[in-house]
Amino acid sequence: MTLPARFRFADFEVSQRERRLRRQGRELPLIPRYFDLLVLLIERRPAVVTRRDIFDQVWGDVIVSDGALSQAIRTLRRTLGDDSREPAYIRTISRHGYSFVYADVREDTDDDRPGLAPGDAPVPAPQSSSDIAVLSTDDRIEALVAALVGEGSSDARSIEDRRDIAQQLHQLGTARALQALARHADGGAALALLRDSRWDVPGAGEVPLWGQSGGLAAARVLVRLRAMDALTVIGRRWTRAASGGGTAGLVAGCAGGVLLWLAPASEAPATAAVVLGALGAAAGTVAAAGVAAGMTTAEAVSRSRRGLAIVAGGAAGGFGTGVLLSTLGRLTLEALFGLRVELGGPVEGLVIGAAVAAGYALSTPRPGGGIAALTGSARRVAALASGGCGAAAGLLLSWAGHSLVGGTIHAVALASQGSQIALTPLGALLGEPMFGPVTQALVAAFEGGAFGLGLAWGLSSPAARRGDPNGRPVT
């Protein structure tokens, strides 16, 4: 078995076995993903590691914004005492990625030997420009809190800088940081950053908002930060989920049309498959867009109660879409064909949306929250779980007397004179004289299952996670 490597450069040592970064024997704390990023850059030195490769290797299980990578690089440079303008260790390659450029890196097997070998003379490394590093712990916390709040700073800090400061505070002690922050009158935004960053620092303490000074303002800032951070990712996932739902509706509609055409005593023409496929695709696309918008927004914004938030988001998106589709459908039928048919929508959308979202949330658990990045078997499991919950919801709705797309088409066909796409012949395939309860239940289960599977498959599409043809990640 090949042992992990140990890297030495300047007066630093990186132990893969212990997962520690040391400088002259003193440990320099790094959160796990930042340590993994440092190792990745060192291993591939001096080649450029693209942003896409970094996201896939370091953040492969969760979708993050480009700002997360910028923050990680900034933290590594601060820890190493590097300067982005004249880098000794990590160089930015514009529009491509990053490269570890320090020339003299010694590599050996990372066994149980002590860090620095006897006789090794540490090479002086660039010193950090920040005076905070030499202060006592309490003074460092006070200085970092002041910087996080923005007091005494003549220049506006970027959001990545402030996230980095928040992570440093968690490493020094969450409770002590909160005590220091409580002494500042306008600390709502700082409290929000502390709350948001605690998920990225192992061992960080709780950061309650309710009952805290500035807690309400912090909650508003927190929602805005998370929504802005994942806005483009949300848009891409929403589009892909809508495409997946539309494809599922197309397949389900075409399959229903073919069965209707082949059913005994059916008068439906072969073109019924085309008509029903088009109706299914339209309904599936709109419904998936609404449900996915609610799910993805909730997934991006919520961290501590991710599963519950996703279900609530899916239910809200389904309800809103149901109201829209039923209203437009009713007005269209009445205006164009003079038909007054009672159409379902809101209840069905709420139940299906909540069920599909529950299947997705249960199959993609993330204790620290965040948008899950699914590949391989994990993606298939999420799609099957969402489809199964969608099918169960379809059965429940059918039992309660509610119809999905198929039942609605049947009701409209019965109300129309001369329509050839009433689903009555499908009952004959199951031994029912009409479009009976068993047939209705199976059609509803098939619709709900196909919808959930298609939505989840599109939602977890690799193209919906990140990246474009030029290798730049979606932010």
Q: Which of 29-38, 245-254, 387-396 has the lowest mean pLDDT?
A: 29-38
Reported as a single tens digit per residue, the pLDDT across 359-376 is 999 998 877 777 777 878
More confident residue, 217 or 258: 258
What is the C-alpha separation between 13 and 21, in angstroms, rounded?
6
Q: Pairing mode, if any, of strands 49-50 and 26-28?
A: unpaired
Which token pair is 116? Answer: 């620095």
Residue 46 has pLDDT above 90, yes or no: no
Mean pLDDT of the region 294-301: 86
What does 45-106 look like in DSSP terms, one character per residue? TTSPEEHHHHHHHHSTTEE--HHHHHHHHHHHHHHHT--SSS-SSEEEETTTEEEE--S-EE
Residue 323 has pLDDT above 50, yes or no: yes
pLDDT at 332: 84
What is the C-alpha separation between 87 and 77, in angstroms, rounded?
9
pLDDT class for 388, splitting at 50, 70, 90?
Answer: very high
Beta bridge partners of 19: none
Return the CA Rg of the chain.
28
Whether the CB-CB separation of 287 and 323 falls below 8 Å is answered with no
pLDDT at 473: 33
Residue 384 has pLDDT above 80, yes or no: yes
What is the C-alpha separation between 473 and 373, in angstroms, rounded?
13
pLDDT at 158: 67
Non-local CB neighbours of 289 within 8 Å, separated by 6+ positions: 238, 241, 242, 245, 321
Edge-first strand listing for the sheet containing 5-9 = 26-28, 20-23, 12-15, 5-9, 105-109
Reported as a single tens digit per residue, the pLDDT across 415-435 is 777 677 778 888 778 778 788
pLDDT at 128: 41
pLDDT at 125: 38
Residue 222 has pLDDT above 60, yes or no: yes
Reported as a single tens digit per residue, the pLDDT across 143-199 is 888 888 875 444 455 677 777 788 888 888 888 888 888 887 777 788 888 888 887
3-state secondary structure of 26: strand
3-state secondary structure of 218: helix
pLDDT class for 247, splitting at 50, 70, 90?
Answer: very high
Q: What CA–CA distances, in Å, run from 189 to 150, 153, 176, 194, 252?
A: 10, 16, 18, 9, 48
Mean pLDDT of the chain: 81
Which token pair is 475? Answer: 């932010």
More confident residue, 354 or 117: 354
């509609």: which residue's tokens?
A: 253
Residue 272 has pLDDT above 60, yes or no: yes
Non-local CB neighbours of 406 within 8 Å, separated by 6+ positions: 256, 423, 440, 443, 444, 447
Single-letter amino acid code for the residue at 21: L
Q: Spell 59-76 as b/e; 16+ CB within 10 A means b.
A: beebbbbbebbbbbbbbb
- What is the signed CA dihedral for 290, 295, 296, 297, rounded to 10 degrees? 90
Whether the CB-CB separation of 321 and 416 falls below 8 Å is answered with no
pLDDT class for 449, splitting at 50, 70, 90?
Answer: very high
Q: Which domains does the chain have, with CATH numbers?
A: 5-109 (1.10.10.10), 132-228 (no CATH), 231-465 (no CATH)
What is the C-alpha separation between 179 and 446, in angstroms, rounded?
56
pLDDT at 246: 94
Q: Which of 76-85, 113-122, 326-335, 339-348 has the lowest mean pLDDT?
A: 113-122
pLDDT at 195: 86
Helix then strand count (H, E) for the chain reads 17, 10
What is the C-alpha separation between 329 and 405, in angstroms, rounded?
11
pLDDT at 135: 56
Mean pLDDT of the region 255-265: 86
Which token pair is 241? Answer: 């989920």
More confident residue, 185 or 10: 10
